[in-house]
Amino acid sequence: MDHDKRMEAAWTTAMLGRVKKPIPLKNLLSKSPTKPTRQSWQAMYAACAYWAGSAGEILSEGQAA
Which ranges in the chain belong to alpha helices (H)? 2-16, 25-28, 41-54
Predicted local distance difference test score (pLDDT) of residue 57 = 67
What residue numbers bound the domain in which 29 lies? 2-63
Predicted local distance difference test score (pLDDT) of residue 19 = 66
- 4 vs 31: CA distance, rounded Å: 10
φ, ψ of residue 33 in degrees (nearest 5) = -65, 145
What is the tally of structural domains in the chain?
Answer: 1
pTM of the model: 0.34
Chain segment 1-57, per-residue pLDDT in tens? 677 888 888 877 777 776 677 777 787 777 777 788 899 999 998 888 888 877 776
